[in-house]
Amino acid sequence: MNRKSWIKRGFALTGVLMVSLTDWNISAQAAESPVLFQDQAQEQRFFVPGDIKTQIEFGYGKKDLGTITIPGQDVGVRAFFEKFTEGVSWDQKNKVAIVKNKGKTLIIPFSGKVAAQANQVVLPDGWAYLKDGKAFLKYPFFAYVFDRYGEYKSGSEEKQWQQRLGFLNIEYIDTIGYSSKDNIFHTGVTIKEGSLASKD
């Protein structure tokens, strides 16, 4: 085989190798399926490492809706949403938590993909989980999306999720920060005035 043929063959093999590596990269990235906003929330320190507690205060105008103090940063789905929505329920058959408010429904899946129906919003994968039969919400994701001081551009994914979850009527989440004195991460959820859900 002459030198020209070897060069052609070399280019062909290189092309095959590059395509194979590209395919492998795409497959690897798809397999990892990074959680939406995971990197951003970590970079901006919404996730606090170590053995801490989180205190979440709920406010509606001048009205105090109560406070939740939890170990770590994961809050019970019912404990969180029952403070300001119309109701929280569990669908055993489909393994989803259901949060209803203002004619819309938030679906929190725990077993596979769920397609949103009319007037439904499905929470992103990785934002919630089941442990010992109880549903937990990874609160830092909500704190990031509704961050009082978050400067998100119009059309950004953050803004899109604020709009999708707008029926929950969260005006903003104020992350006061971590205090080493009491080992507590202090934060507050403010509900839009004139929009507090009435309980049945």
Mind listing the pLDDT tens digit for each residue in 106-118? 999 998 888 889 9
Q: Would residue 199 count as lying in a domain?
A: no
- DSSP letter at 130 equals E
124 and 81 share one domain: yes
Q: Would residue 197 count as lying in a domain?
A: no
- DSSP letter at 44 equals T
163 and 127 share one domain: yes
106 and 167 share one domain: yes
Residue 15: the pLDDT is 44
Cα separation, 142 vs 101, in Å, equals 17
9 and 103 share one domain: no
Range of the domain at 26: 1-32
26 and 43 share one domain: no
43 and 21 share one domain: no
Q: Quickly state the pLDDT bin for 200 (edges 50, 70, 90).
A: low
Cα separation, 6 vs 117, in Å, equals 58
At 78-94, the pLDDT tens digits run: 999 999 999 999 999 99
Q: Would residue 62 count as lying in a domain?
A: yes
Q: Would residue 145 count as lying in a domain?
A: yes
24 and 46 share one domain: no
What is the tally of structural domains in the chain? 2
63 and 93 share one domain: yes
159 and 130 share one domain: yes
Residue 162: the pLDDT is 96
83 and 150 share one domain: yes
Lowest-confidence pick of 75-79, 162-166, 190-194: 190-194
Among the listed residues 124, 128, 21, the one whose alpha carbon sits nearest the alpha carbon of residue 73: 128
For residue 115, give the CATH number of its domain. 3.30.457.10
Cα separation, 78 vs 36, in Å, equals 22
